Amino acid sequence: MSTHNISGKKVAFLLTDGVEQIELTSPWNAVKEAGGIPTLVAPKSGSVQGFQGTEKGDTFDVDTTVAEAEASDFDALVLPGGVINADHLRMDKDAQAFARNFFEQHKPAAAICHGPWLLIDAGVVRGRNLTSYRSLQTDLLNAGAEWMDEEVVVDNGLVTSRTPDDLPAFNHKLLEEIAEGKHSGQTV
């Protein structure tokens, strides 16, 4: 059970087909257990296909599309990883705008593994400290971020982690940042 109470806080989980399943389900359950309200936001309605590594996992029902969703309706954003998921989201203009709006509104955001790819295309990583799956290091550095090889990095409301092994630390800091609320340094 979490030491952070986020009762009633709405958390958008932005993802699409190819999401790394554990990077969705673990933070989702942490948010629910802490009293938060997770919402699955995706580019298309229906359901999205999770993966466990390279094998198909479960499907997850979409609550709302990213074109219909408004960052102002949520208290925080979570970007799970998965190469296919992250690669498709980073090219989606609605997903870019949705993510950027959380930063413009100074709201907490969290990304794990390949999740930070979207943040590059959303234009919100320049000058920020973060981590990711190792293969994104060069992309993040080229976008002006400071990349660190640590299990979790927190920078003014932005929480990032590298792999599923980091989920306990990621979930803890995610809940902490949501509980703290808006961060003036969380901006584009």
Catalytic residue of the set 88, 114, 172, 183: 114
C-alpha to C-alpha distance for 133 and 162, rounded to whole angstroms: 4
What would you measure as the largest C-alpha separation in the chain, in angstroms?
Answer: 41
For helices 83-90 and 93-104, give the axis angle rounded to 10 degrees: 80
Q: Is 88 a catalytic residue?
A: no
Of the residues 88, 113, 172, 183, which is catalytic? Answer: 113
Q: Give the chain's end-to-end CA distance (angstroms, integer).
A: 33
Whole-number Å distance between alpha carbons of 8 and 97: 25
Report whether 133 contacts 158 (CB < 8 A). Answer: no
Any catalytic annotation for residue 4? no
Query: With contact defined as beta carbons under 8 Å apart, do 107 and 77 qualify?
Result: yes
C-alpha–C-alpha distance, residues 99 and 119, integer Å? 7
Q: Which residues are catalytic?
A: 113-114
